[in-house]
Amino acid sequence: MTDEQLLRYSRHILLDALGIEGQERILATHALIIGAGGLGSPAALYLASAGIGKITLVDDDSVDFTNLQRQILHTQARVGMAKAESGRQALAAINPEIEIVPLQARLSGAALDDLVASADLVLDCTDNFATRHAINRACVHHRKPLVSGAAIRFDGQISVYDLRRDDAPCYHCLFPEGEDVEEVRCAVMGVFSPLTGIIGTMQAAEALKLAAGIGESLSGRLLLLDALDMEWRTVRFKKDGGCAVCGPTAAGQLPGYLPRPDADHESATGACRLA
C-alpha cells in the first residue's frame, strides 16, 4: 500500500477486525454491480470510497429526472446520460485510484456469464425478477457470492447467497421461479427515497465483509425492513436440496444451468417483486 492509500483507508486499517490485511483484500477485489439505480448508487459509492480495487458498473438505462429523488450517483446536470457513465464520473470523483468499468448493457446470456466469471463478488441491484434469477444462475455456476437487495414502497429486503459454500442456499432456494408471486411494475411504483439508501448501503457492507473475509454474512438470513414502522424482521432459510438451480444435477450438468426453456427470458413488463 502506498502512503496515500495508508492515509485514505486509515479509518479502516484502525479497525481490529479489518486492519491492513483486510484492506489489502478489499483493494484486490473486483465487484460486479448490476444496476446503477436506487440500490446500486449507494452500494457503488461506498465500495468506491472504501477502495474496492475494481468496480464494473452495469446499467442499460439513462438518467431520468424522476431518478434523482433516490439514485444518488446521478445529478441533474447528467440527466440523459447513460447511468453507467454517470456513475463512473461520480465514483472517479471520490476515488480516482480505483478501476471503474462502466457498461451500458442489459446483461443476459453469455455476456452475463462472462462478467460474473470475471468478478470476485456480485451485487444484484436490479429491480427485475427475471434478471435476478439469471444473475443467481450465473453466480451458482461460477460459485460467486451474491449480495441481493430489493426496495419498493416502504419495504426493503437484503440477503447474501455465499455460493462459494456447498451448504449455502441460492436465491432460487428462497424464491422459486414460476411460483405465484406479486408482480408489480417498478416503473410506476412509489419508493421511499432513503429506503434504497439503507438497503444499498447494507449491500455495500456485506460486499466489503465478503471482500475482506471478516464477520458473519447474511447467508441463510433474509432481513426484511418495514421502513414506515421502522421494524426489521429476520427470516432464516436453508438450502433446498431439490432446488432446480443449485441442487444436485444429472450427470454432466453443472449447477446453475439446468435446462430451462425460459432461462434467459426477460420480463417484457419490467416487472419486479418483493417477497
Residues classed as catalytic? 186
User: Which CB sits closer to Zn ion, 72 or 246?
Assistant: 246
Kind and range of the H or E run holding 58: strand 54-58
Residue 269 C-beta: closest distance to Zn ion, Å: 25
DSSP β-bridge partners for residue 146? 122, 161
For Zn ion, which stretch binds (CB under 5 A), given 19-27, 86-94, 168-176, 179-187? Answer: 168-176
Which one of 119, 170, 210, 214 is in contact with Zn ion (CB under 5 A)?
170
Distance CA 119, CA 29 (A): 8
Residue 207 C-beta: closest distance to Zn ion, Å: 20
Distance CA 18, CA 24 (A): 9
Residue 124 C-beta: closest distance to Zn ion, Å: 15
User: Which CB sits closer to Zn ion, 63 or 245?
Assistant: 245
User: Which CB sits closer to Zn ion, 96 or 241?
Assistant: 241
Contacts 24+ apart (CB under 8 A), 72-80: 72/41, 72/42, 72/45, 72/197, 73/36, 73/40, 73/41, 73/44, 73/45, 74/41
Which one of 147, 204, 246, 274 is in contact with Zn ion (CB under 5 A)?
246
Residue 217 C-beta: closest distance to Zn ion, Å: 16
DSSP β-bridge partners for residue 231? 226
Distance CA 160, CA 237 (A): 11
Q: Is 173 in the site for Zn ion (CB under 5 A)?
A: yes
Q: Is 243 in the site for Zn ion (CB under 5 A)?
A: yes
For Zn ion, which stretch binds (CB under 5 A), given 25-33, 77-85, 103-111, 162-170? Answer: 162-170
User: Which CB sits closer to Zn ion, 100 or 245?
Assistant: 245
Q: Is 225 in the site for Zn ion (CB under 5 A)?
A: no
Which one of 54, 88, 172, 209 is in contact with Zn ion (CB under 5 A)?
172
For Zn ion, which stretch binds (CB under 5 A), given 24-32, 57-65, 126-134, 240-248? Answer: 240-248
Nearest partner of 177 among 243, 94, 92, 84, judged by Cα: 243
Contact indicator for 208, 49 with CB cutoff of 8 Å: no
Binding positions for Zn ion, 9-48, rule CB under 5 A: none
Residue 247 C-beta: closest distance to Zn ion, Å: 6
Cell matching residue 272: 419486479
User: Which CB sits closer to Zn ion, 8 or 141?
Assistant: 141
User: Which CB sits closer to Zn ion, 107 or 245?
Assistant: 245
Residue 219 C-beta: closest distance to Zn ion, Å: 12
Helices (H), ranges, the chain = 3-8, 10-13, 19-27, 40-49, 83-94, 109-118, 129-142, 171-174, 193-212
Contact indicator for 231, 225 with CB cutoff of 8 Å: yes
Cell matching residue 203: 449491500
Residues that bind Zn ion (CB under 5 A): 170, 172-173, 243, 245-246
